[in-house]
Amino acid sequence: MKLDRVSGLMAGARQVLSPNVDDRPAGVEPEVLIVHAISLPPRAYGGPGVEQLFCNRLAPEDHPYYREIAGLQVSAHFFIRRDGELVQFVPVNRRAWHAGKSFCEGRERVNDFSIGIELEGDDEHPFENPQYDTLTALTRALITAYPAITPYRIYGHSDIAPGRKTDPGPHFDWRRYRQALPRPG
């Protein structure tokens, strides 16, 4: 897996570009990764809901939960499906709208300096081996492209928005994930 720094696109990722994106502040590059979990409808996997949400095409009549989130404009840089497929919604050199009201490393406006990675999942089910494989390969490529990102600068959504968010949830194996990453020099 390799990132093209000019385009901000990851080789090997299926590209589904989201309109929920804008420019990072001048001179700001990614410094941290934020790991999320999402499933739409909740606790259902494999459907088009996440892609529809991130592209403002979610139909409220398709599921009762969709009525609750109708009109929400969110995105992430990447989405990793249960089978390990990598989907990219936002070039990493642009700002995705994934962190919401959050606080990380003493700073607000976390979207300004982060890359958001969504895993297809929830708080109730373990993640799949192919997801960890893809997440590890993706993280290695991002660390190579952006040296400010290290294994010590990777957070869960729950870490940067405590009390508001719980993802990636209790079944995400942080130890397994971090052990698979390169150790800083």
Say which CATH number the domain at 38 has: 3.40.80.10
Above 80 in pLDDT, residue 135? yes
Domain count, the chain: 1
Residue 110 pLDDT greater than 70, yes or no: yes
Is residue 118 in a domain? yes
Is 27 part of a structural domain of the chain? yes
pLDDT value of position 185: 63
pLDDT at 97 over 70: yes
Kind and range of the H or E element at 23? strand 21-23
Chain centre to alpha carbon of residue 115: 7
Check pLDDT > 80 for residue 146.
yes
Q: Please enumerate in sequence order all residues whose Cβ is within 8 A of that of 77, keeping only pairs 6 or more positions apart, or say none.
A: 88, 89, 90, 91, 92, 96, 98, 115, 116, 117
Q: Is 185 part of a structural domain of the chain?
A: no
Residue partners of 14: CB distance under 8 A and separation at least 6? 85, 86, 87, 88
Q: Are strands 14-15 and 86-88 parallel, antiparallel or unpaired?
A: parallel
Lowest-confidence segment of 26-35, 47-56, 176-185 by average pLDDT: 176-185
Residue 129: count other Cβ atoms within 10 Å of its Cβ.
Answer: 10
Active-site annotation, residues: 118
In the chain, % of residues over pLDDT 70: 99
* Residue ranges making up the domain that contains 138: 3-179
The answer to whether residue 184 is domain-embedded is: no
How much is the pLDDT for 184?
72
Give a yes or no: residue 9 inside a domain: yes
> What b/e readout covers 134-170, taking b as 16+ CB neighbours within 10 angstroms?
bbbbbbebbbebbeebbbebbbbbbebbeeebebbbe
Predicted local confidence at residue 183, as pLDDT: 81
Q: What is the mean pLDDT of the chain?
A: 96
Residue 145: what pLDDT?
Answer: 96
Q: Is there a domain that residue 64 lies in?
A: yes
Q: If pLDDT is split at 50, 70 and 90, which confidence band does 133 have? A: very high
Residue 58 is assigned to a structural domain of this protein: yes
What would the mean pLDDT of 63-79 be, rounded to a whole number?
96
Cα–Cα distance measured from residue 30 to residue 58, given in angstroms and rounded to the nearest whole number: 29
pLDDT tens for residues 151-171? 999 999 999 999 999 999 999
**What is d(CA 90, CA 157) in angstroms, rounded to the nearest whole number?**
18
Whether residue 112 is contained in a domain is answered as yes
